[in-house]
Amino acid sequence: MKVLILGGDGYLGWPTAMYLSRRGYEVAVLDNMIKHFWEAEVGVDPLVQTRPMHIRSQVWEELTGQQIQTFVCDIAENPKCLYKAIDKFMPDAIVHFAEQPSAPFSMMDRDKCVTTQQNNVNGTLNLIFAIQHTNPDIHIIKLGTMGEYGTPNIDIEEGWLNVEHNGRKDRVLYPKKPHSFYHLSKVHDSNNLEFACRAWDLRVTDLNQGAVYGIDTEETKMHPDLITSFHYDSIFGTVINRFVVQVAKNLPITVYGSGNQQRGFLNILDTIKCIELAIESPAEKGEFRVFNQFTEQFSLNNLASMVSDVAQKMGLDPVVEHIKNPRVEMEDHYYNAQHSGLLELGLKPNLLTDSVIESMIKNVLKHIDRVDENLIYPKIKWCHKK
């Protein structure tokens, strides 16, 4: 089976490409490398720099004999390039990671908000039209986010909600209350993809993913040039990465607000497996299928306590500190999200254990001299009121 991965140079895209290649899929990756520009624009770096996509592809072929074809293309700005890549490679499935991934980045100012919305929404629309033009039977596997839902006071279903109103019943897309302009762009994506399924009989799997942690896969450990990125800064970094770096650097674990905010989380190994499961069991023609892609729910306080406990066992001296929340969000809320679909397809979760956290801390300690503590603390506020 042939799989084209959009955003194949990224944190999730590159490990997914290697994983699928190693398992016999014919894989191509496409990226415009703009994430490196955005990082430079806001003055942040990953903990360790990754190698360019074409070099990683060369190293992979030397090690395994498997080729990962590369395309350099901006799918939001150059749809003709996307059409050509699809026409040339003729994939059976397209995995769409090619989006600006940061909520704080989207909330910096008008320019970053517009950049996020144009890159994400236009890129997905161009993909929809490219598939309709080339081969409507191609299965789109789109990376969404659990942040689309927000924190409603009812259970979060997997994408759809059965409603009864004035004695009549219907099945509708689950109402969305996103927390940022980034998450809102993902909502637009979902609506556009669902419409394309109804109008053009496209087949789409929308994976509403929780926060991902970890960088090690069997493939990234094969050679130093095959590693993926680890961000700990307040713009592109995730909360677990930030907490892990703080304890390794002997800094306070900074929890936003009350710390009672709850979210879904999953290991990078499970992200990759979920992609494979979706590829192997594609959506039907005309079906907009949604899976909530996470394995565990934690509050920020839960995570801070878990990281602190492991750090203490390692002889470190962690301290938890609550700081003013820079975001506009509910801190005390109901949160119960359904996530049975991928489990039913065969996902066997890799949970957040002490050994996983210890491994992450040890990895940071190897590169502790590269940590810039000024990048950890939030500088972007959701509310711009004077």
Q: Tokens 């769409």 correspond to what residue? A: 96
Q: Mean pLDDT for the chain?
A: 97
348 is catalytic: no
Beta bridge partners of 72: 31
By C-alpha distance, which of 287, 315, 290 is closest to 207?
290
256 is catalytic: no
The CA radius of gyration of the chain, in Å to the nearest whole number, is 20
Q: Are 339 and 294 in contact (CB under 8 A)?
A: yes
CB atoms within 10 A of CB 369: 5
Pairing between β-strand 160-165 and β-strand 168-173 as defined by DSSP bridges: antiparallel
Considering the entire predicted model, what is its pTM?
Answer: 0.98
Dump pLDDT digits (tens) for 83-94: 999 999 999 999
| Exposure b/e, 235-264, CB count within 10 A at least 16 = b | bbbbbbbbbbbbbbbebebbbbbebebbbb
**SS3 assignment, position 32:** coil
Determine phi and psi for 74, rounding to 5 degrees: -100, 105
The active-site residue out of 186, 228, 238, 295 is 186
| Contacts of 302 by beta carbon, 8 Å cutoff, 6+ apart | none
Which 8-state DSSP code applies to residue 50?
P
Amino acid 265: pLDDT: 98
Give percent helix, percent strand, percent coil of the chain, each to the nearest 5.
40, 20, 40
How far apart are alpha carbons 214 and 19 in whole angstroms? 15
Angle between helices 123-134 and 181-200 (to 10 degrees): 20
The active-site residue out of 174, 182, 213, 232 is 182
Amino acid 80: pLDDT: 97
Dump pLDDT digits (tens) for 61-88: 999 999 999 999 999 999 999 999 999 9
The active-site residue out of 50, 124, 145, 254 is 145
Give the angle subtended at the CA of 123 by the CAs of 117 and 187, to the nearest 5°. 50
- CATH 3.30.565.10 for domain 2-217+265-296+336-350, yes or no, is no
How far apart are alpha carbons 36 and 40 in whole angstroms? 6
Q: What percent of the chain has pLDDT over 90?
A: 99
Dump pLDDT digits (tens) for 47-59: 999 999 999 999 9
pLDDT > 80? residue 222: yes
Amino acid 385: pLDDT: 62
Dump pLDDT digits (tens) for 162-203: 999 999 999 999 999 999 999 999 999 999 999 999 999 999
Dump pLDDT digits (tens) for 350-367: 999 999 999 999 999 999
Amino acid 234: pLDDT: 98
182 is catalytic: yes
**Where do the domains of the chain lie?**
2-217+265-296+336-350
